[in-house]
Amino acid sequence: MASSSPRPRRRFRQPSVIPGFGLTLGYTLTCLSLIVLLPLAALVVRASGLGFAGIWDVATDPRVASALRVSFGVSLLAALTASIFGGIVAWVLTRYDFPGRRIIDAVVDLPFALPTAVAGIALASLYAPNGLVGEQLAKFGIEAAYTPLGIYIAMVFIGLPFAVRTVQPLIAEIDREIEEASAILGSTRLGTLTKVVLPPLIPAVLTGFALAFARGVGEYGSIIFIAGNLPYVSEIAPLLIVIKLSEFDYAGACAIATIMLAISFTVLLAINLIQAWSRRRFGYV
């Protein structure tokens, strides 16, 4: 008598709490097109009126090139600093319980809620030559306000929350027993840090770095008060866009914005590729 194989059970897909794929995809593409893609396309089209030669002339203008170097160079350095210290802050807030921890945790989000102009005025008054911190730095011959150093401080200030909040949830998910097992197996603290703790955090650290960099490049309000806005010294690219608009040079403003868009997209694409590689390299999704 031939044995009959059991019939496979039919799986019923649980209904989703939100509409189907087609409707949600259409809504997503519509929102992205109206809010992101169309404005950026209009920006590129307006800048293309100058032609490639005209955009190149704008990009190679000494004042524009200097402003771009300041904006992107300081943003990269500030994002790197925010990523390092943001990781330390996130570790302390997640792994230790101490008086005032909740207050400090709330203070981290202040740059999110604080108006950028208020942050710029506060930083300028603090780091000015007659300010509380600036006066002490002046004794060592260090000028913070109205220099690229002031821009760096402002960018670290606005980028730190991104670095903290992207890493903090992953730190909470790391089981302490893994660290204890690493110590029992004879690993040093440095070995446990580099081989056990850091690998799963690398994608989140890169995400925080990208967010801090993007915020720093596009920041305006919290920087102009402390930057000094000296051409070829401490002038940022967003300020040049505002200057071009005030001069009714809309094509020139769009050209600078398009150049910033291209550079930002290239840098963020490179960071995302490194992030994807790190996920595959360390086996974390």
- What are 46-60's pLDDT values in tens digits? 888 888 888 898 888
Structure confidence by residue, pLDDT tens digits, 226-250: 988 888 988 999 999 999 999 898 8
CA atoms within a 13 Å half-sphere pointing along the CA-CB vector of 16: 7
Per-residue pLDDT at 285: 47
Per-residue pLDDT at 179: 76
Cβ neighbours, 10 Å, residue 235: 23
CA–CA separation, 79 vs 155, rounded Å? 8
Per-residue pLDDT at 159: 92
CA–CA separation, 76 vs 78, rounded Å? 6
DSSP track, 220-258: -HHHHHHH---TTTT--HHHHHHHHHHTT-HHHHHHHHH
Q: Which two tokens stand for residue 112?
A: 């999110």
Helix (H) or strand (E) holding 5: none
What does residue 235 show for φ and ψ, rounded to 5 degrees?
-95, 130
* CA–centroid distance for 243 within its chain: 25
Residues in CB range of 201: below 8 A, 6 or more apart: 87, 167, 170, 171
Domains of the chain: 37-282 (1.10.3720.10)
CA–CA separation, 273 vs 271, rounded Å? 5
End-to-end Cα separation, the chain, in angstroms = 50
Q: Are 201 and 278 in contact (CB under 8 A)?
A: no
Q: Are 143 and 149 in contact (CB under 8 A)?
A: yes
Share of the chain above pLDDT 70, in %: 92
Mean pLDDT for 29-45 is 87
Q: Is the pTM of this model over 0.85?
A: no
Question: According to the 3-state scheme, what is the secondary structure of 101-153?
Answer: HHHHHHHCCHHHHCCHHHHHHHHHHHHCCCCCCHHHHHCCCCCCCCCHHHHHH
Picking from 102-116, 188-202, 207-221, 248-262, which range would have the lowest pLDDT averaged per residue? 188-202
User: Which amino acid is located at 271 in the chain?
Assistant: I
Q: Would you call 247 exposed, middle or buried from its count of C-beta atoms within 10 A (0-12, 13-18, 19+)?
A: exposed
Mean pLDDT for 143-164 is 92
CA–CA separation, 261 vs 171, rounded Å? 33
Could you identify the residue written with the tokens 């100058």?
A: 50
CA–CA separation, 219 vs 86, rounded Å? 19
